[in-house]
Chains A and B, each alone.
Chain A
Amino acid sequence: DIQMTQSPSSLSASVGDRVTITCRASRGVMNYLAWFQQKPGKAPKSLIYAASSLQSGVPSRFSGSGSGTDFTLTISSLQPEDFATYYCQHYKTFPITFGQGTRLEIK
């Protein structure tokens, strides 16, 4: 199975900050990588697919990059509604696996 490891596990930041979350795959997943945002008590929301493609309706302050084993999610200027937990996921092969999550908190 391909293991997905996110770092950091938690992060404190302020409104307006630029934030980067990294995700590493235990072996190459090409660009079959997605990012999700989840707020407490809510379903996950898709942000990025194919490593760098923005889902329709997602603000342009979110961006993704990477290929192979190393990926990043960047939020260029944090907004109050961005404080949430973020997950990466590969979908190259079964079993599909998720990272453990990164909790983004207000400083």
Chain B
Amino acid sequence: EAQLVESGGGLVQPGGSLRLSCAASGFTFSSYWTSWVRQAPGKGLEWVASIKEDGSEKSYVDPVKGRFTISRDNAENSLYLQMDSLRAEDTAVYYCARGNDFSIWGQGTMVTVSS
């Protein structure tokens, strides 16, 4: 069964950093674009970043450009999101999702940015 499992969330102070991970299993990870999507408490879904199958292309939503970095390790079947200079407005559940059509989602990991 295809599955994605996120980890790495937690409480961090404004200006701090956090690295999220997403472990893939049950499918050929290296064959899919993969993305991060977030959802602030009580709000809708917001696409954050995507990375091509081989890591050669990356794209970000404007509010995170220059602060977040998406990467992947196909040998480890893993996706990452390095989040620096965190702000209160980055507080959200972060999901990873598979493919151009976001066909498979992980269960999410909560990131709270607060002093």
Contacts and interface: CB of A to CB of B under 8 A. Distances in A.
Contacts of B35: 96
A43 B95 contact: yes
Interface string B89-113: 0000001000011111111100000
B73 interface: no
A45 B45 contact: no
Nearest to A97: B47
B110 to A, nearest CB: 11
Contacts of B107: 43
Interface string B24-62: 000000000001010000001111001000000001011
Given A43-B108, A87-B45, A96 B103 contact: no
Given A44-B95, A44-B105, A91 B44 contact: no
Sort chain A's interface into a size bin. 20 to 34
Report whether over half of chain A's contact residues are helix, strand or loop; otherwise say mixed. Answer: loop
A99 B44 CA distance: 8
A62 interface: no
A97 B107 CA distance: 20
Contact of A91 (B46, B95, B100, B108): B100
Contacts of A44: 37, 45, 95, 102, 105
Which of A46, A89, A101 has most chain B Cβ within 10 Å? A46
Contacts of A49: 101, 103
A43 B108 CA distance: 7
